[in-house]
Amino acid sequence: MTTRGGTLTGRIRHWYGANPLHLLALLASFALAGYAVRAVIETGQFLGFAIWFAVAIVGHDLLLFPLYSLADQSVQRLLPWTARRRQGRPGSSAQVPGPPLINYVRIPVAFSLLLLLTFFPLILGLSEPEYHRASGLTTQPYLWRWLAVTGVLFAASAVVYALAWRRSAARARRQSAGRPRKQAAARTRAHQTLPAAPDVVPSPAAPHPGFDVWHPARPAQNPGSPDPP
């Protein structure tokens, strides 16, 4: 019996590609979903239901995701450019003080857009007629609230960035004060390829140079990265 069962399991595994229990469990879940869909068909609303189901998947995977990825890539490309441009400003030192700006920009942007994505019917006033009929209220304040929250997010981000900037500048002063110029310069060069961060902690192996121009898109800088040379 055991041998026979084993053979049968093996045969199913070969033909199906997984344990027979895998098949059984999946069929059970299809049965449950099918039963629910049957009820939708009975109410005569299947077409709209199916279209919204498909649009939900396509809208996220093939529209929303590529859009926000592209936006993020563009911002990443844009920000170091401004940092490098600052480098050459007359009267400034070779390095531009300050940690990378990227997260202080994209996080408030992401929060703000997420609020818009969630509450756009109220913010843009799209649901005004039904909302007013139901509640007696108007959607008008929501646009201003969204703008105000967006403003607060950016202001908070700017404050945190200013604090991080001061911290890293102070650290750099401390570091350069206690060592000969040449050595410090060499050290700075050696670490220019490391991505700097607001929360960088100088480790004994790689003392943080304070502030350096940030090179975002250079792969294989991590010792742990498996990138090909």
- Site for other proteins (CB under 8 A): which residue of 208, 209, 210, 211? 208
Interaction between residue 88 and other proteins (CB under 8 A): no
Residue 57: CB minimum distance to other proteins, A:
5
Interaction between residue 206 and other proteins (CB under 8 A): yes
Interaction between residue 76 and other proteins (CB under 8 A): yes
Rounded CA-CA distance 191/195 in Å is 9
Name which of residues 45 to 64 contact other proteins (CB under 8 A).
Answer: 45, 47-49, 51-54, 56-57, 59-61
Rounded CA-CA distance 223/168 in Å is 24
> Distances from the Cα of 163 to the Cαs of 10, 89, 144, 158, in angstroms?
63, 23, 29, 9
Cβ neighbours around 68 below 10 Å, total: 16
- Site for other proteins (CB under 8 A): which residue of 88, 136, 178, 204? 136
Task: Select from 88, 85, 83, 111 the least CA-distant residue to 195.
Answer: 83
Length of the chain: 229
Interaction between residue 1 and other proteins (CB under 8 A): no
Task: Indicate the residue among 92 and 166 with the shorter CB distance to other proteins.
Answer: 166
Written as one letter, the residue type at 198 is P
Residue 90: CB minimum distance to other proteins, A:
30
Task: Say whether 193 sits in a helix, a strand or coil.
Answer: coil
- Site for other proteins (CB under 8 A): which residue of 1, 2, 42, 91? 42
CB 207 within 8 A of CB 187: yes
Interaction between residue 10 and other proteins (CB under 8 A): no
Q: Binding marks (x or -) toward other proteins, 155..194, rule CB under 8 A?
A: ---------------------------------------x
